[in-house]
Amino acid sequence: MTQSPASLKRRVLIINTLGGALHHYTHELVDNLSDPGNDITVATIFEPSQAGGGRLGWILRYVRIVLSARRLAKAAPNPVVIVTWPVLGYLDFLLLVVLGRRTDVKLVVHDPLPLVTAIGYDQVSRTLARMTLRNRQIIVHSTAALTDVQDQGFGAIVVQLPHPILEAAIDGPAPSDRPRVVRVLGQFKPDRDVTALEQVSASIDSAVTLEIRGRRWPQVRGWNVVEGFVPEEELQHLLSSSDAVIVPYTRFYQSGIAIRCLEYGVPIVGPAGTSLEDLLGAGSPLLVQATESGVGSGGWASAVATGLTTTRGDIQLLVAALRNDSRERWKACLTDDRR
């Protein structure tokens, strides 16, 4: 039986539980879901680093938002609640029970095996969460995350959807007399591949400026390291003024910085066999195979050189295709009535 347009209309509440860190992601998600058939509302909760009050205060703010969302479930014919980050890990599903079975709950899990200590991902939490899975769904953005969530026992409710992405905003070609700049953007963590960055600096044209911007970075041979937090306005300038950006991670599920680079028409360079392949395509010369030495043809230096010759128009075409695919697949997910 064919559903009428009215029956497909969804009332969507997005709960952004990391108002600072996921502000741009939520903006991308709203844009991705924008459709005459969707009525979208965003509720924002700021994390302790932004709002203070510690972890307990953050959890209490989340609980209040969830409790108030019950009104949505009662008033809307097809309510959907999307949580951008699980505050309590998989235990979020226990709290979200208060929304009732009529509410379609989608939990975006960015990091199923957290790099830092987090609650709600242990065996007991997973067992408790699996008791409340009727009309519940986990959304991930990479094959690696999909595999890990399936291994954790949620294969029946997990779905991989593209990371939402905005239309590429390109002001025009960079001035020809401006020095070319290759950057690394983001906080230092143990999974950053410093060796790869040193390989780049050892072989790249000396006329190219190499710069690292982010917190906790050590000095890296051949790179200008500017340690410290990068505010949003400055990040936008750094993104738009880069000629290429390296994503030097050895382990990651998806990269928000990579998405934002593409939105500015900036090529990204990183390891193959990661979620970057979903963006650039397998075999892209911007990707470095894990088995390569990183030196010579096909290595890091070659991939960066390709990035420096990739035009913003090329990236704009890529983003248009990615955005169309993302919007279509999210739309299909949103209109899939599994109750």
Whether 327 is in a domain gets the answer no
Mean pLDDT of the 181-210 span: 92
| Number of structural domains found in the chain | 2
Together in a domain, 77 and 194: no
What does pLDDT average to over the chain?
89
Q: Are residues 70 and 218 in the same domain?
A: no
The percent of the chain in helix, strand and coil, each rounded to the nearest 5, is 40, 15, 40
Contacts of 125 (CB under 8 A, 6+ apart): 89, 90, 91, 119
Output the DSSP codes for 13-53: EEEES-TTTTHHHHHHHHHHH--TTEEEEEEE---HHHH-S
Strand, helix or coil at 166?
coil
> What is the domain-level CATH number for residue 123?
3.40.50
Give the model's pLDDT for residue 292. Answer: 43
The token pair that represents 217 in the structure block? 């970075």
Task: Judge whether 329 lies within some domain.
Answer: no
Is the residue at 307 inside a domain?
yes
Would you say residue 336 lies in a domain? no
Query: Residue 294's domain is classified under what CATH number?
Result: 3.40.50.2000
Mind giving me the DSSP string for 56-89?
HHHHHHHHHHHHHTHHHHHH-SSEEEEESS-TTG
Query: What are 4-21's pLDDT values in tens digits?
Result: 444 557 889 999 999 999
Band the pLDDT of 337: cuts 50, 70, 90: low
Question: Tell me, what's the pLDDT at 6?
Answer: 47
Residues 141-153 have pLDDT tens digits of: 999 999 999 999 9
Q: 126 and 70, same structural domain?
A: yes
Return the higher-pLDDT residue of 307 and 177: 307
Answer whether 140's CB lies under 8 Å from 252's CB: no
- Judge whether 13 lies within some domain: yes
Answer yes or no: is pLDDT of 298 > 80: no
DSSP 108-127: E-S-SS-SS--SS-SHHHHH
Q: Are residues 157 and 185 in the same domain?
A: no
Last residue of a domain, one of 128, 161, 194: 161
- What is the domain range of residue 30? 5-161
**Residues 294 and 186 both lie in one domain:** yes
Q: Are residues 147 and 196 in the same domain?
A: no
Of the two residues 92 and 171, the one the predictor is more confident about is 92
Average pLDDT over residues 307-315: 94
Q: Are 283 and 153 within one domain?
A: no
Q: Is residue 339 part of a domain?
A: no
Tell me whether residue 338 is in a domain: no
Domain shared by 20 and 69, yes or no: yes
Sign of CA dihedral 300, 305, 309, 311: positive
195 and 237 share one domain: yes
How confident is the model over 234-270, as pLDDT tens digits?
999 999 999 999 999 887 899 999 999 999 999 999 9
Instruction: Decide: pTM greater than 0.85.
Output: yes
209 shares a domain with 120:
no
Residues 10 and 156 in one domain: yes
pLDDT in tens, 123-135: 999 999 999 888 8
Which residue type, as a one-letter code, is found at position 12? V
Residues 120 and 252 both lie in one domain: no
